[in-house]
Amino acid sequence: MTKSILNKIDALYAKLSKGQKKIANYIMENYDKAAFMTAARLGETVGVSESTVVRFATELGFEGYPAFQNDLQELIRSKLTSVQRMESASVRIGQDEILETVLTADASMIKATLEQTSKESFNGAVEAINKARNIYILGVRSAATLANFLAFYFRPVYENVILVDSARASEVFEQIFRIDERDICIAISFPRYSNQTISALRFMRDKKAKIISVTDSELSPIAQFADYLLLARSTMASFVDSLVAPLSLINALIVAATFNRRSEVYDNLSELEKIWDEYNVYDKQEARPEDDR
pLDDT per residue as tens digits for the range 246-273: 999 999 999 999 887 777 777 777 887 8
The vertex-74 CA angle with 68 and 76, nearest 5°, equals 105
**Category of 51 on φ-ψ map: left (φ > 0), alpha (ψ -120 to 50) or beta:** alpha
Q: What percent of the chain has pLDDT over 90?
A: 47
Band (pLDDT 50/70/90 cuts) for residue 171 is confident
- 47-62: string of b/e by CB count within 10 Å (b at 16+)? ebeeebbbbbbebbeb
Residue 146: HSE in the Cβ half-sphere, 13 Å Cα cutoff = 28
Is residue 220 within 8 A of residue 213, CB to CB? The reply is yes
Q: What is the band of 182 on the pLDDT scale with cuts at 50, 70, 90?
A: very high
Closest by CA position to 215, among listed 194, 252, 189, 239: 189
pLDDT at 87 over 70: no
Separation CA 265–CA 154 (nearest Å): 10
d(CA 153, CA 88): 36
Mean pLDDT of the chain: 84
Nearest to 195 by CA among 169, 228, 213, 164: 169
Pairing assessment for the beta strands 210-215 and 184-188 based on DSSP bridges: parallel
Find the largest Cα–Cα distance for the chain. 81
Phi–psi pair at 187, nearest 5 degrees: -105, 135
| Residue whose C-alpha is closest to residue 240's, from 152, 149, 113, 145 | 145
42/279 Cα distance (integer angstroms) = 62
- Alpha carbons within 13 angstroms on the beta-carbon side of residue 204 total 33
User: pTM of this prediction?
Assistant: 0.70
Beta bridge partners of 135: 161, 184
- Pairing mode of beta strands 236-237, 240-241: antiparallel
d(CA 192, CA 213): 15
pLDDT at 238: 47
Band (pLDDT 50/70/90 cuts) for residue 3 is: very low
Output the pLDDT for position 2.
Answer: 42
pLDDT tens digits along 5-63: 888 888 888 899 999 999 999 998 888 778 878 899 999 999 999 999 999 999 998 99
- Cβ neighbourhood burial of 84 (10 Å; 0-12, 13-18, 19+): middle
Instruction: Determine what percent of the chain is predicted with pLDDT higher than 70.
Output: 84
pLDDT of residue 279: 77
Residues in the chain, overall count: 293
Give pLDDT tens digits for 211-233: 999 998 888 899 999 999 999 98
**Where do the domains of the chain lie, and which CATH numbers do they carry?**
2-111 (1.10.10.10), 116-278 (3.40.50.10490)
